[in-house]
A and B are shown apart, each in its own frame.
Chain A
Amino acid sequence: MNAVSIFTLILGLGLIAWLSARAKAMRLASASSEAGPAAHRRPLLHSLPGFHGWYAALWVVAPAMLFMAVWANVMPALVTDRVLHDPAAATLPLDPMSRGAILSEARNVAQGGAQVAFDPRANALVEPYRAAQRLYSLGGAIVALMLAFAGGAYAFTRVRPDFRARNKVERVVMGALLTASLIAIITTVGIVASLLWESLRFFSFVNPFDFLFGTKWSPQSAALGYGSDNAFGAVPLFWGTIFIGAIIAMVVAIPLGLMSAVYLTQYAKPRARAWLKPILEVLAGVPTVVYGYFAALTIAPNMRDFAVMLGIPNASSESALAAGLVMGVMIIPFVSSMADDSIASVPQAMRDGSLAMGATTSETIRQVLVPAALPGVVGGVLLAVSRAIGETMIVVMAAGLAANLTLNPFASVTTVTTQIVQLLTGDQEFDSPKTLAAFALGLVLFVVTLLLNIVALRVVKRYREAYE
């Protein structure tokens, strides 16, 4: 009996439970309404029949499904255990590696993944495997169905006029919603925990102080066995990240985003706004990989030619400037829409007050609207920075891999995200500092963006309160 048919069967039982509990409740309801005098007819049934139905259906489905989920995780181990007790398993080698290989080959054949095993010892185990699987899946199905029946029977006996099925169902709904939100939180906690754990392992190889303040980054030399001393100084990476994401990109994105927001909120006619705003938002929808090859194939060569023309040394075809400019363009809609929101939420009375003093529109914007909207704009910029420094695709394609500590925007620099990609693509060994360095970098990036987000949201929130 396979899982899908049991699943369907349990759902079918749930439907039957729903119908029968509802029918029983309806019978009780009509009986009680005939009893009392019509004038003070109060429903003697606490909950509507539908709630009794749902209550019963939940009792049928939920325990059985929970059991199935647990069983699916436990069963493989039980099956293997049983197979190992089979006489045919006595000939297996004791070495756990080859033993495991034979067992998994046998399992593969037994489940129909392969026709025949290469190893005759595995072939001998196929039949015991099939038998054990049949046994345990049948056992599991029987227990699941028994649970479903037991649950249904229990719920059905509780259908009484004063039973508060409605409140019970409400609690189940709350529990389901809580579970849904917990899944996201637990996943995040798990990610952070793994970052922390792997980072700690990294820091057992490399001194955290050397990592955070060292200026030489050459993980390859460490991997080739030249020792990990001083090969993991991440300062050039941090600098490259800040140079591209927080300086060059923001020099592009802040003025352009702010000015487009001012134009859209203050000058554009409603019709122009209706066209321009969605078009600007399309920029936000362009996949970053498209920006990436635009940066790498179009902007970067032009930047290099321009730098060569100016006679700037170290001009590279993978430059901080190319990556930063394109990233800035990518961030424009982000800054613009945050600034747009905060300018639009400055009360109209403020604008009127300034205009009524005989100020022009641009004086009003410069002296009243932008200062009033500034906290919101600053919050938006911080969020934009935190996005920019976590951005990966553009810098992987356009910024290069050389960990230079330079102020020259035409030179190649590398970023935290680029190096993470480099460290984790290709062959990995999870006990070498080269691979583990990726987790330490990820941890730093995570902490920085988290702090930026917290500060930004706080600033924005306080600003919102000021005008409410």
Chain B
Amino acid sequence: MTDISNPKTPNPKMSARNVNVYYGEKQAIQNVSIDVDTDNVTAFIGPSGCGKSTFLRTLNRMNDTVASARVTGEITLDGEDIYSSGMDVVQLRARVGMVFQKPNPFPKSIYDNIAYGPRIHGLASSKADLDQIVESSLRRAGLWDEVKDRLKDSGTALSGGQQQRLCIGRAIAVEPEVILMDEPCSALDPIATAKIEELIHALRGRYAIVIVTHNMQQAARVSQRTAFFHLGTLVEYGVTSEIFTNPRELRTKDYITGRYG
């Protein structure tokens, strides 16, 4: 077993201990232990198929939608085991939001896309209240100025980058504590990517953010802590600047310097 770096962070929001994930017979994640820090952006990097997305999806139990997936080990949110039988998955997902690789706005208006979560969770007491939530969410997603005059237009009519910011706005409209981002820029052009990265900077501190990326420059730019995954194991975890300048593991160094991946 490779020496796994210290999983602990000073102020953990979520903690995973000895997590294994199986798809049927195949083991996708082996014995991963890691903390997600409250005030920082955590990046998961690694070559394709290394399990970083799979692990991300265990943090809000999206793997439950895959019939063959099975998770063992312990994952806590504020000290509470999210895989315990008492955990309400629906509530968990309201607290741990998610943004996907491909922008997936609902085929509804921009307004209704943002209002979707607040409506199903009953967060707004009045129409004015809901309007307020929609505006503030769009503002925080950096989209308000671009769409304020066409809130009734379909969300699917926006450009790819706008759609992705809409999805981020949709996720923050329910005031989550953690936002998981699964390669949020992989389908976007460089300008749209830059906007999303700015947005991640702006959101840092307000939400614990975990971002999966295959773009190492992006991880270096947006994150304070970086975890390197390889073949379903966590190879190294630490402060981003150290991982990129002075990795302790040879595999990390080889990956970062572009020897494979």
A contact residues vs B (CB 8 Å cutoff): 269-270, 347, 349-360, 363, 367-368, 371-372, 466
A387 vs B98: C-alpha distance in the bound complex, in angstroms?
44
B170 and A357 within 8 A (CB) = yes
Task: Pick from B104-112, B206-214, B237-245 the stretch touching chain A.
Answer: B104-112
**Which of A353, A356, A357, A368 lies at the interface centre, i.e. has the most chain B CB atoms within 10 A of its CB?**
A356
Residue of B nearest to A364 (CB): B120
Contact A356 B106 (CB under 8 A): no
Shortest distance from the beta carbon of A352 to any chain B beta carbon, whole Å: 6
CA distance A466 to B107 in the complex (A): 10
When distances are taken between beta carbons in the complex, the residues of chain A under 8 Å from B133 are none
**Beyond A357-B174, A359-B117, 6 additional pairs, beta carbon < 8 A:** A349-B100, A356-B100, A357-B116, A358-B91, A367-B106, A368-B106
Of all A-B residue pairs in the complex, the 5 with the closest CB atoms, nearest first, are A358-B94, A356-B98, A349-B104, A358-B93, A353-B104
Q: Contact between B117 and A358 (Cβ–Cβ < 8 Å)?
A: yes
Shortest beta-carbon distance from A371 to chain B in Å: 6
Residue of B with least CB distance to A356? B98
Asked if residues A356 and B93 are in contact (CB atoms below 8 Å), the reply is: yes
Q: How many whole Å from B77's CB to the nearest CB in chain A?
A: 13
Nearest CB in chain B: distance from A362 CB, A: 11
Chain A hits for B93, CB < 8 A = 355-358
Minimal beta-carbon separation of B63 from chain A (angstroms):
11
**Residues of A contacting B92 with CB < 8 Å?**
358
Partner of A371, one of B104, B107, B117, B167: B107
Check: B128 CB closer than 8 A to any chain A CB.
no
Which of A347, A353, A354, A372 has the most chain B CB atoms inside 10 A of its CB?
A: A353
- Residues of B in contact (CB 8 Å), total 27
Chain B residues whose C-beta falls within 8 Å of the C-beta of A353 in the assembled complex? 100, 104-106, 167, 170
Q: How far is the CB of A196 from chain B (nearest CB, A)?
A: 43
With A353-B100, A358-B94 in contact, is A270–B106 under 8 Å at CB? no
| A363-B120 contact, Cβ under 8 Å, with A355-B62, A355-B93, A357-B94 | yes
Answer yes or no: B85 CB below 8 A from chain A CBs. no
Are the CB atoms of A357 and B91 closer together than 8 Å? no
Q: State whether B62 touches A356 (Cβ < 8 A).
A: yes
Which chain B residue shows the least CB distance to A368?
B106
* Least Cβ–Cβ distance between A378 and chain B, in angstroms: 14
Residue of A nearest to B65 (CB): A355
The residue of chain A having its C-beta at the shortest distance from the C-beta of B180 within the complex is A356
Q: Complex: how many Å from CA A368 to CA B105?
A: 10
- Contact yes or no, B104 A350, CB < 8 A: yes
User: B60 on the interface (CB 8 Å rule)?
Assistant: yes
The CB with the most chain B CB atoms within 10 A, among A354, A358, A367, is that of A358
Q: B97 contacts the other chain (Cβ, under 8 Å)?
A: yes
Complex Cα gap A371–B107 (Å): 8
Number of A-B contacts (CB under 8 A): 68
Pick 19 A–B contacts, CB within 8 A, sort by A. Answer: A349-B102, A351-B65, A353-B106, A355-B62, A356-B100, A357-B94, A357-B171, A357-B174, A358-B90, A358-B120, A359-B90, A359-B116, A359-B117, A363-B120, A367-B106, A368-B106, A371-B108, A372-B106, A372-B107
By the criterion CB–CB under 8 Å, are B60 and A356 in contact?
Answer: yes
* CB under 8 Å from chain A, chain B span 168-189: 170-171, 174
Residues of B within 8 A of A466 (CB): 107
Cα distance A220–B122 in the bound complex, in angstroms? 66
**Complex-state Cα separation, A466 to B106, whole angstroms:** 13
Convert B65-108 into 0s and 1s, putting 1 for each residue whose CB lies closer than 8 angstroms to a CB of A: 10100000000000000000000001111110110101011111
Q: Are A352 and B104 neighbours in the complex by a CB distance under 8 Å?
A: yes
Q: List the interface of chain B (C-beta within 8 A of A).
A: 60, 62, 65, 67, 90-95, 97-98, 100, 102, 104-108, 116-117, 120-121, 167, 170-171, 174
* Chain A binding surface, main DSSP class: helix
In the complex with contacts A350-B104, A371-B108, A359-B62 CB distance below 8 A: no
Q: Which residues of A have CB within 8 Å of B170?
A: 353, 357
- Determine if B100 and A352 form an interchain contact, defined as CB atoms under 8 angstroms apart: yes
Complex Cα distance A443/B256, Å?
73
B119 nearest CB neighbor, chain A only = A367
Asked if A352 and B65 make an inter-chain contact with CB atoms under 8 angstroms apart, the answer reads yes
Question: Who on chain B is nearest to A357 by CB?
Answer: B117
Instruction: Report A-chain residues with C-beta under 8 Å of the C-beta of B91.
Output: 358
A353 to B171 alpha-carbon distance, docked (Å): 9
Alpha-carbon gap, A364 to B186, bound state (A):
26
Closest to B117 in A: A357
B contact residues around A360 at 8 Å (CB)? 90
Structural contact, A357 and B97, CB atoms closer than 8 A: yes
Contacts of A359 in B (CB 8 A): 90, 116-117, 120
Contacts of A358 in B (CB 8 A): 90-95, 117, 120-121, 174
Q: A349-B102, A350-B104, A350-B106 are in contact. Are A356 and B116 (CB under 8 A)?
A: no
| B19 to A: closest C-beta gap in Å | 19
Evaluate whether A356 and B97 lie within 8 angstroms (CB atoms) in the complex, with A367-B120, A372-B107 already known. Answer: yes
How many angstroms from the CA of A232 to the CA of B92 in the assembled complex? 68
Listed residue (A347, A351, A352, A360) with the most chain B CB atoms within 10 angstroms of its CB: A352
Nearest neighbor of A375 in chain B, beta-carbon distance: B107
In angstroms, Cα B92 to Cα A356, docked, is 9
Closest beta carbon of chain A to B67's beta carbon, Å: 7
A372 to B113, CA, bound (A): 13
Given A269-B67, A363-B120, A354-B100 contact (CB < 8 Å): no
Most chain B CB atoms below 10 A, which of A270, A352, A357, A367: A357
Q: Which residues of B contact A351 (CB under 8 A)?
A: 65
B-side contacts of A354, CB under 8 Å: 106, 116
Shortest distance between the CB of A466 and any CB in chain B (Å)? 8
Provide the bound-state CA to CA distance between A359 and B104, in Å: 15
Q: Is the CB of A357 within 8 A of B120?
A: yes
B116: chain A residues at CB < 8 Å are 354, 357, 359, 367
Assess whether B62 is in contact with A352, with CB atoms less than 8 Å apart. yes
Q: Which residues of A contact B120 (CB under 8 A)?
A: 357-359, 363, 367
Q: Which residues of A contact B62 (CB under 8 A)?
A: 352, 355-356
B56 → chain A, closest Cβ, in Å? 11
Which residues of chain B are near A350, meaning CB under 8 Å? 104, 106-107
The distance in angstroms between the C-alpha atoms of A368 and B106, with both chains bound, is 7
By a CB distance below 8 angstroms, the chain B residues around A356 are 60, 62, 93, 97-98, 100, 171
| Cα–Cα, bound, A357→B95 (Å) | 9
B-chain residues with CB within 8 Å of residue A357 when the two chains form the complex: 93-94, 97, 116-117, 120, 170-171, 174
Q: Which residue of A lies closest to B101 (CB)?
A: A349
Cβ of B59 to closest chain A Cβ, rounded Å: 11
Residues of A close to B98: CB separation below 8 A: 352, 356
